[in-house]
A and B are shown apart, each in its own frame.
Chain A
Amino acid sequence: MLRVDNLRKRYRTGDEALKGVSFSVPDGEVVGLIGPSGAGKSTLIRCINRLVEPNDGDVFLNELNVTKLGRGDLKRARRRIGMIFQEYALVERLSVMENVLSGRLGYVSFWQSFTRRFPQSDVDKAFSLLERVGLTDHADKRADALSGGQRQRVGIARALEQDPELLLIDEPTASLDPKTSRQIMRLITEICRERNLPAIINIHDVPLAQAFVDRIVGLQEGEVVFDGPPSDLTEDVLTRIYGEEDWTTMHGDQDEPEDTHPHPARNDPTAELV
């Protein structure tokens, strides 16, 4: 359970990125955070694990007030919050296994991590996570040898290796093709349901968000302007979040159940010609 209460952030340049944001995410719910560029989406999720320091307000992770912690306690709190990044943010020159195991850095001593002697239970966990994300054969490859979709899977495994109680996900599909994007979104939402994890996903692709998340929060100029189920995301609401635009073309195949009844004419471009 995550509760964000009246969170404010003003950058030194004077930009007010967050103007008192409040919402909560119960366990197992995946929330899509949408909004125009510069609305404060990245700032918001970075304020939750304090990679960006908020000026005011509180973040409660299962009754622990993250905003009030000192340095040592903050590190311990960060272990409980997994983060997945837009450009994967893997350490490119380390192996896949080292990247996944880096999720345990907060739990092991410096010497253990320096000599790469992680406890066997951590290694077992890493192997089972790699299997879950479908990368069993890639454990020994260097991260920069993988494709974009594979790298994001390593990013997911690294976040889960932390045994998180919350997932923060920043534009997970921004660098991926449409098919891989759907696979990654499906993987993330499935895992959150399996583990009953709350998650916040920053996402630009509104139809993709609607297809996978349980709830949508719309952010505009640092304020929450929408909070509700994906089905309530009408054209009016989109205009409130993003501004005036013709939204009618956006809802092309949104109402169709995904991939369950493949229409022959749509999947086979030659069908109409015959």
Chain B
Amino acid sequence: MPITKSENGAAVWTHRTPKARIVMWVGWLLLVALFIFCWQVMTEGTIWFFVYDAPRQAADIGSRMFPPKWSYMDELWWPLWDTINIATLGTLLAVIMAVPVAFLAARNTTPSTKFVRPVALFIIVASRSINALIWGLLLVAIIGPGVFAGIIAIALRSIGFIAKLLYEAIEEIDETQIEAINATGASAMQRLDYGITPQITPAFAGITLFRWDINIRESTVLGLVGAGGLGLKLQASINVLAWGQVTTIFIVILATVLVSEWVSAKVRHSLI
């Protein structure tokens, strides 16, 4: 109750009551205390010698990483092609599986909110909760190392991402357009084609491109667990301490990500 009467009877307004001010102050004090306590727990196990030594180590590796070994590029074209394929095919596979899941998960299109929707939401959560690298680890063990494991890993991780964003887009559509299509005597499939699809097309294109863009990045590291692509070469180069090759790979990854970002921005712009 921040409005009080002063002695001469005029109404006085303050932002907070005195009691609220004290509560706020104690709250901030507790927060600072918690921060200091956490810092102590965190640094307990730190060996400070290594930390003091860090700049020298970094400088050492840095000097060995320079100059990049450009001749190594010849060996990178093929893995680069693999990486792009893993990302693109993985995204494509994910889209094919994510679209039905999204329609089953969206409250306004699901056949049953009690039974089907929870299953669809579970698929989404399960797919999203596991990183592509971990999917890769599992799949390399199951179907053996190589590009195929990478594609499946990317696809499994992307289903949840695409389905989640897409079902949110489906739930946000303008219902009066659906009502108008219903009023013409259209069937359920025609309603989907004329009422829903045109409304979610821009969102669908944006989401797919965004995920493809992310997948290019993710597929560059998938090779670390044996799932093909540039990561395989990165792993091999680090193992033999060939730092010049590592730099070359980093530059290739950076260039690829830049190009993919540019492509997806261009395509998205032309679609919306």
Contacts and interface: CB of A to CB of B under 8 A. Distances in A.
Interface string B166-195: 000000001011011111111101100111
Contact of A49 (B174, B181, B183, B187): B183
A92 B194 CA distance: 10
B180 A90 contact: yes
A79 B185 contact: yes
Given A78-B185, A102-B194, A90 B177 contact: yes
Contacts of B198: 91-94
Interface string A76-107: 11110111010101111110001000111111
Which 6 A-B pairs rank lowest in CB-CB distance, beginning with the nearest?
A106-B185, A78-B185, A89-B180, A105-B186, A79-B185, A83-B183
A89 B176 contact: yes
Interface of B: 174, 176-177, 179-187, 189-190, 193-195, 198-199, 201-202
Interface in A31-87: 49, 51, 75-79, 81-83, 85, 87
Contacts of A162: 184-185
B186 A106 contact: yes
Given A91-B195, A93-B201, A103 B190 contact: no
A113 interface: yes
Contacts of A51: 179, 182-183
Given A105-B190, A110-B190, A89 B184 contact: no
Contact of B184 (A87, A90, A106): A106
A102 B197 CA distance: 14
5 contacts: A51-B183, A91-B194, A92-B198, A104-B184, A105-B187
A113 B199 contact: no
B185 A158 contact: no
B184 A102 contact: yes
Given A83-B180, A93-B198, A102-B184, 20 more contacts: A75-B186, A77-B185, A78-B184, A78-B185, A83-B183, A89-B176, A89-B177, A89-B179, A90-B180, A91-B199, A92-B177, A92-B198, A93-B202, A102-B194, A103-B184, A110-B189, A110-B190, A113-B190, A114-B190, A155-B180
Q: Is the interface of B mostly helix, strand, loop or mixed?
A: helix
Contacts of B190: 105, 110, 113-114
B186 A87 contact: no
Nearest to B202: A93
A44 to B, nearest CB: 15
Contacts of B177: 89-92
B129 to A, nearest CB: 34
Interface string A145-173: 00000000001001000100000100000
A85 B180 contact: yes
Contacts of A103: 184
A90 B176 CA distance: 8
Nearest to B201: A93
